[in-house]
């Protein structure tokens, strides 16, 4: 599954290349991708809209459009975003693969832009989703997901407070809990434990401040 670093990387690349582009048509090849909206409603809301910017919250990409519309995109386990410019190489991010097909058997949605470029959403296992951000989802993203590890607020003191609050949990359980820390999955939880020399199954309450500091700095 693409985790925070992979999602942030593709967000930065797409932000540079999609700003100002106008969505002329949306081809939805798998209807459940845009639920709870119908295909017709999704197309009506998004077609003709201009992309203003891309943000990220945890593993979710937020595609900000004009008219105060935001699309939330979650790649889940096998999702991919592939931008096809008029010239040059593809810009690709998400689940790694050695064979990119666009469009292909796993293409679920295509954003067609007025200037002739395209953004493809591929997803082998169909776990990913694209939703129009309503107040309920917006509130969930902002309040029910924990602190961003790349933010200035992610300090040794903050992580120490989290470990102190859940002393009986293992370190890996805390790192994977999206309500506590945003965007970390199995890969980067294991890498953090390896680089800091902390056993993943060690209880959080047994860590001293120096060990916690290593987690933040890594």
Choose the weakest-confidence range: 55-59, 107-111, 140-144, 198-202. 140-144
Indicate if 10 and 108 belong to the same structural domain: yes
CATH code of the domain containing 45: 3.20.190.10
At 12-56, the pLDDT tens digits run 999 999 999 999 999 999 999 999 999 999 999 999 999 999 999
Indicate if 73 and 117 belong to the same structural domain: yes
Residue 150 lies in a domain: no
Res. 203: pLDDT tops 70: yes
Residue 151 lies in a domain: no
3-state secondary structure 118-143: EEEEEECCCCCEEEECCHHHHHHHHH
Indicate if 104 and 138 belong to the same structural domain: yes
Indicate if 16 and 121 belong to the same structural domain: yes
Indicate if 118 and 163 belong to the same structural domain: no
Q: φ and ψ at 178, to 5 degrees? A: -70, -15
Number of domains into which the chain is organized: 2
pLDDT for res 139: 87
Q: Which two tokens stand for residue 180?
A: 């506590």
- 172: containing domain: 156-217
What is the distance in angstroms between the CA of the first residue and the CA of the last residue of the chain?
21
At 77-132, the pLDDT tens digits run 999 999 999 988 899 898 877 678 789 999 999 999 999 999 999 999 999 999 99
CATH code of the domain containing 161: 1.10.8.50
Angle between helices 186-196 and 209-217 (to 10 degrees): 130
Residue after which a domain boundary falls, among 86, 120, 143: 143
User: What pTM was computed for the model?
Assistant: 0.91
Q: Beta partners for 212? A: none
Residue after which a domain boundary falls, among 96, 119, 143: 143
Residue after which a domain boundary falls, among 143, 164, 194: 143
């Amino acid at each position: 599954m693409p985790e925070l670093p992979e999602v942030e990387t593709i967000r930065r690349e797409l932000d540079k290349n999609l700003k100002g582009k106008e969505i002329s048509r949306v081809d939805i090849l798998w209807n459940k991708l845009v639920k709870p909206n119908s295909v017709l409603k999704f197309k009506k809301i998004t077609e003709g809209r201009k992309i203003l910017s891309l943000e990220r919250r945890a593993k979710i990409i937020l595609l900000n459009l004009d008219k105060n519309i935001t699309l939330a995109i979650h790649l889940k386990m096998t999702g991919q975003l592939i931008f096809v410019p008029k010239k040059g190489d593809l810009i690709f991010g998400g689940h790694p693969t050695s064979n990119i097909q666009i469009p292909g058997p796993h293409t679920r949605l295509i954003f067609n832009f007025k200037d002739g470029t395209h953004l493809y959403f591929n997803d082998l296992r169909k776990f990913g989703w694209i939703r129009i951000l309503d107040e309920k989802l917006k509130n969930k993203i902002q309040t029910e997901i924990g602190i961003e590890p790349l933010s200035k607020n992610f300090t040794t003191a903050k992580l120490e407070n989290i470990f102190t609050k859940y002393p009986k949990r293992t370190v890996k359980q805390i790192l994977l809990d999206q309500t506590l820390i945003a965007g970390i999955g199995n890969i980067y939880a294991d890498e953090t434990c390896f680089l800091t020399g902390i056993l993943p199954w060690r209880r959080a309450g047994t860590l001293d401040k120096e060990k916690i500091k290593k987690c933040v700095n890594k």
